[in-house]
Structure 1
Amino acid sequence: MRIAIPAKDNKGLESEVCEHFGRARYFVFVDVQDDKIENVEIVEVPFEEHSPGDLPNFIKEHGGEVVLAYGMGRRATAYFQSLGIQVVTGAHGKIEDVVKDFMQREG
């Protein structure tokens, strides 16, 4: 499973979740297999301004299957769902902790 999380900076698992999903400059993509973190990729968002659908398509292009975010509007959530990407809100704190919490709930 490939999880995408909006990040405040480019420190990977040590980054904090960016509370404003649409303004995140970086996304951390975490590959999880058998409840273990296998790979971490930090990707800078390639655009300053975005239109509806830009971020969901960006995440889809990078293989994201799940998005963990602090919050997200209904329109963005619906767009992700139309692409087959699961959205989980309420994420806050260090990305490594958020991913581990998610794995425990899903496992």
Structure 2
Amino acid sequence: MKIGVPIVAPNGMASEVNDHFGMSEYFAILDVEGDSVKGLEVIRDSPSLKEHKTPAQLLAEHGVEVVLAGGIGPHMIEELLDRGIKIFRGAAGTVEQAFEDYKAGMLSRAKSI
């Protein structure tokens, strides 16, 4: 399973979660098997790039099935859900902490509005 996390800057599992999902330039994509992270890739997109995509488009193209987010607006929730991506809110701290909180069931699942 692939899990996407918006991050402030690329720094592996120590990357800080970006609280504003829709404005994130970087995303960590975790390749997860069971309860373990088997790999991590950082992807980048920016409104200033010629080939800019929405975060939902970008993550869907990379096979992301679950998103761990801090703050995320209703439009982006709908766009992710429309692509079959599950969203869990309340992620904070580092990517590692967000993943641990997700595994522990501490993040709340976002539903369609």
Report the TM-score when normalising by structure 1.
0.88
2:93 aligns to what SS in structure 1?
A: coil
CA distance in 2, matches of 1:90, 1:32: 20
Residue aligning to 1:72 = 72
State the 1:48 CA deviation: 2.9
Tell me the percent identity: 32
User: Deviating runs (4+, > 4 A) in structure 1?
Assistant: none
Report the number of matched residues.
Answer: 103
Residue aligning to 1:91 = 91
CA distance in 2, matches of 1:23, 1:78: 16
2:101 aligns to what SS in structure 1?
A: helix
**What is the CA deviation profile of residues 46-66 of structure 1, one whole-angstrom value per residue up to 9, with x for unaligned ones?**
5437xxx72101100011101
1:105 aligns to what SS in structure 2?
A: coil
Q: Do structure 1's residue 55 and structure 2's residue 55 form an aligned pair?
A: yes
CA distance in 2, matches of 1:32, 1:105: 16
Residues 2-81 of structure 1 correspond to what in structure 2 (within 5 A)?
2-48=2-48, 54-81=54-81
Aligned alpha-carbon RMSD (Å): 1.7
Report the TM-score when normalising by structure 2.
0.83
2:84 aligns to what SS in structure 1?
A: coil
- Unaligned 5+ segments in structure 1 are none
1:88 aligns to what SS in structure 2?
A: strand
More helix by share: 1
2:104 aligns to what SS in structure 1?
A: helix
- Unaligned 5+ segments in structure 2 are 107-113
Residue type at the aligned position of 1:101: D
